Amino acid sequence: MTKEATVSELLLKIADLENRLEESEQLAEAIKAGEVDAFAINTENEAAVYTLQSGDYAYRILVEAFKEGAINVSEDGLILYTNSYFCELLGLSYDKIIGTSLYDFIDPGCLKDFRILFQEAITGISKGEILLAGKHSPIPVYVSLTSLRPKLTTVGIVITDLTEQKRTENLIKNYQTDLENKNTELIQSNSELASFAYIASHDLQEPLRKIQTFASRITGMEDTLSDSAKDHFDRMKKAANRMQTLIEDLLNYSQTNSVIRNFEKTELHKLVEDVKKELAEELEVKEATVVAGEMCTVEIIPFQFKQLFHNLINNSLKFAHPDKKPIIEISSKSVKGETLDDEKIIPEKEYCHISIADNGIGFEPEYSKKIFDIFSRLHGREVYKGTGIGLAIVKKITDNHEGIIRATGEPDKGARFDIYLPARTHTPK
């Protein structure tokens, strides 16, 4: 500075000195008033921070270093402290978070919930799951809020990132849904297989067994046969055995293929006649009568329905009353859905109501559902033979036709099966 310093230069100098003096005074006052938390000192080019109370060192390191978000918020939501992890979680720098409102980082959809949590926290503690407004997508977090009153008029919040947990939960949920779907498919395909296997073995093995039975009768009289006849007979036996293997293989094959369902317009009357012919022998032995009443024509899978009638008539014969000649009455007619009483019935739809009633031993009404369970037997094996599959197949065939079956019975007063088939307007899967 030269001696010729101007007045204005001197004034500036004075102002600068006044400023410095004021700063020094202010520093002294601040320290005196205990307004200072820490000192930062540069010693030999190494920066160090000294707190006035060093006893909190470990706490600070813990809060700063642990992998949970920790923030301290004024009672109007201003973020006064955030640890590094909370910044990391939001993908923002410390500077973008500190001094801003916490509400800016809450997903708009969660604001209402969070306001409630925050209000609760001012008088105590609150916890809950919310979404933070992340840079790219909402971040699911668990927040635990605690009022620091009376020591501080702030709310301490610990934030746990739930992203990983939610992802795992979703994965598990998806797997579960997948499994449930697969399970349903499996159950469906299993019962289809059971039904197909039964039909195949039943229908094919019966004529085969006859061939084998008659063959065994001839076996005793082989001497009466010519050499060439003996040769033919041997070949026939071998062919029958081969056929048995084929059937067994076919059964195995059926387990890897699903049944193709072809719906055809069918006269129920004809189906019943066919089944009567098939069961002619059994009907004769039991001196049974099948009364076929009014019948309609429906779109069904013919071979399945033939099986259904076969099983139901067989069932009536099996459970015939010991003192009565069996009378089996079959009829079918078209009805409106609205006249029927069942939760599965669609009132606007047209249904074909098929009824099969007998005068057999009947059953206790409480079994009217259980009777259709696979392998379910209401009677001991020694009294009535059977596998317990027959009625399960009847139920399955009805299900395949999207129909409903109901069984009603009373001991000694006969059983009655009512089947309701919806009029087909679409081709099922």
Partner 1 sequence: MDAVTRDNEVTGEVIILRLYVSGMAPKSMEAIANVKRICDEHSGYCFDLEIVDIYKNPEAAAREQIICSPSLIKESPSPRRVLIGTLSDAVKVKRAIGISG
**Which chain residues interact with partner 1 by CB under 8 A?**
11-12, 15-16, 18-19, 23, 26-27, 29-31, 33, 35-42, 46-49, 51, 60, 63-64, 72, 74, 78, 80-81, 84, 94-95, 98-99, 152, 154
Residue placing its CB nearer to partner 1 in the complex, 7 or 260: 7
Q: How far is the CB of 82 from partner 1 (least distance, A)?
A: 9
Strand-strand pairing, 350-357 and 415-422: antiparallel
Residue 48, both tokens: 């160090």
Residue placing its CB nearer to partner 1 in the complex, 88 or 178: 88
Total residues found in the chain within this entry: 429
Residue placing its CB nearer to partner 1 in the complex, 67 or 325: 67
Q: How far is the CB of 57 from partner 1 (least distance, A)?
A: 10
| Cis peptide, bond prior to residue 150, ω within 30 of zero | yes
Contact 359, 326 (CB under 8 A): yes
Contact 320, 360 (CB under 8 A): yes
Q: How far is the CB of 24 from partner 1 (least distance, A)?
A: 10
180: left (phi over 0), alpha (psi -120 to 50) or beta: alpha
Spatial separation of the C-alpha atoms in residues 271 and 289, rounded to whole Å: 16
Closest CA to 307 of 327, 340, 279: 279
Residue placing its CB nearer to partner 1 in the complex, 1 or 383: 1
Residue placing its CB nearer to partner 1 in the complex, 1 or 40: 40
Residue placing its CB nearer to partner 1 in the complex, 74 or 188: 74
Closest CA to 320 of 290, 294, 292: 290
Q: How far is the CB of 150 from partner 1 (least distance, A)?
A: 13
Q: How far is the CB of 112 from partner 1 (least distance, A)?
A: 24
Give 36-95 as a DSSP string.
Answer: --EEEEEETTEEEEEESSGGGHHHHHHHHHSSSEEEEEETTSBEEEE-HHHHHHHT--HH
Residue placing its CB nearer to partner 1 in the complex, 8 or 226: 8
Spatial separation of the C-alpha atoms in residues 426 and 92, rounded to whole Å: 58
Q: How far is the CB of 23 from partner 1 (least distance, A)?
A: 5
3-class state of residue 101 by DSSP: strand
Burial of 354 (0-12, 13-18, 19+ CB in 10 A): buried
Residue placing its CB nearer to partner 1 in the complex, 39 or 175: 39
Q: How far is the CB of 100 from partner 1 (least distance, A)?
A: 9
The residues near 100 (Cβ < 8 Å, ≥ 6 apart) are 78, 79
Residue 9, both tokens: 């230069």
Q: How far is the CB of 53 from partner 1 (least distance, A)?
A: 9
Residue placing its CB nearer to partner 1 in the complex, 22 or 282: 22
In this structure, the dihedral spanned by the alpha carbons of residues 209, 215, 217 and 221, taken in order and rounded to 10 degrees, is -170
Q: How far is the CB of 75 from partner 1 (least distance, A)?
A: 10
Residue placing its CB nearer to partner 1 in the complex, 62 or 116: 62
Q: How far is the CB of 106 from partner 1 (least distance, A)?
A: 19
